[in-house]
Homo-oligomer: A and B are copies of this chain.
Amino acid sequence: MRSGRSPKGAARGFIIPIGGAENRVQNPVILRRFVKLCGGSRAHIAVIPTASSLDDTGDLYESVFRDLGADRVSILPFKTRRDCESDRYLKVLDRADGVFMTGGDQVRLAEMLSDTPAAEKLHSRNAHGMHVAGTSAGASAMSAAMIAGGKSGATPRAGMVDLAPGLGLISRFVIDQHFGQRDRLGRLLTAVASIRFGVGIGLDEDTAAFIGPDEMLEVVGSGGVTIIDGSNLRNSAADSVRHDDPVGLTGIRLHILVDGNMYHLGTHCLVGGTLSARSYVPSGSNATALI
């Protein structure tokens, strides 16, 4: 039995959005974990470089995954929607243990693949155990409601996020990447406000959410994962909000998760004992005197 596969072969595969700029050489904890999940030295990994406008992105990841010990790496260079019907490529998806979608432009990726046999295969194979990882644009495209672009800033504002249909590998969640680095809280909040009972997942660079078939999310990497739980969210009446006006939102639950934290997306609870109540005091401050 390969790691990550259910004994019955029926469990869904992992969904692994990555916040971009993941370490690929010196300390590639995320990609190593992905290869291990896919079977390590027996892993067959398919790379979809479609989001990227660079010709060598597929080759780059092929080399990285080989260095990490994968048995086989196939590149699926979908450049037209016809490519997404190619039997040869579909057979690769039939046999792969994991798929990796590169960064680039999530709109290009989603428009190329959506509603093609390749996308259907991604869905059905993931439902039966194939793992799907994606970095940056490849992470954004996993959502059903995909963030196609938007403005930076911490405060949610009307019209600051552009949503478009993504691949829909996960439905209730909206994913954003380069999160802490590019000041994207406002646009993720604005996106979550548009999705009933939605949850926003903001991934810092070099940081991944390994989401298992049981809806357990584990953080791997050097940054944080911001969870915006909108299940109790209330927001401004649409008719009172003009373009670029700040949007009032209340009842959001916010969590910042770091490497090793486990969070259950179904129950919205942190699992395990890695966080403790109130023991953190900022270093280099005299905060203790103020409490």
A202 within 8 A of B: yes
Residues of the B chain whose Cβ atoms lie less than 8 Å from the Cβ of A49: none
A249 within 8 A of B: yes
Q: A162-B285, A233-B278 are in contact. Are A257 and B253 (CB under 8 A)?
A: no
A196 within 8 A of B: yes
Q: A196-B291, A235-B278 are in contact. Are A284 and B159 (CB under 8 A)?
A: yes
Q: A233-B278, A275-B235 are in contact. Are A289 and B165 (CB under 8 A)?
A: yes
A256 within 8 A of B: yes
Question: Sorted from nearest, which 3 A-B pairs have the closest CB atoms?
Answer: A155-B180, A224-B246, A145-B290
A127 within 8 A of B: no
Interface contact A248-B253, CB-CB below 8 Å = no
In chain A, residues 179-211, which have Cβ atoms closer than 8 Å to a Cβ of chain B? 179-181, 183-186, 189-191, 193-196, 202, 204
Partner of A224, one of B156, B179, B194, B277: B156
Residues of the B chain whose Cβ atoms lie less than 8 Å from the Cβ of A191: 282, 287
Encode contact with B along A226-255: 1 for CB under 8 Å, 0 otherwise: 101000011111100101011111111111
Instruction: Determine how close the nearest CB of chain B comes to the CB of A211; give it in whole angstroms.
Output: 17
Interface contact A275-B237, CB-CB below 8 Å = yes
Interface contact B261-A257, CB-CB below 8 Å = no
Nearest B residue to A196 via CB reads B291
Residues of A within 8 A of B (CB): 144-145, 152-156, 158-165, 179-181, 183-186, 189-191, 193-196, 202, 204, 222-224, 226, 228, 233-238, 241, 243, 245-258, 261, 263, 270, 274-287, 289-291
Q: A255-B251, A291-B194 are in contact. Are A154 and B185 (CB under 8 A)?
A: yes
Residues of the B chain whose Cβ atoms lie less than 8 Å from the Cβ of A290: 144-145, 163, 165, 194-195
Nearest B residue to A257 via CB reads B248
Residues of the B chain whose Cβ atoms lie less than 8 Å from the Cβ of A164: 285-286
Residues of the B chain whose Cβ atoms lie less than 8 Å from the Cβ of A250: 255-257, 263, 270, 275
Interface contact A248-B261, CB-CB below 8 Å = yes
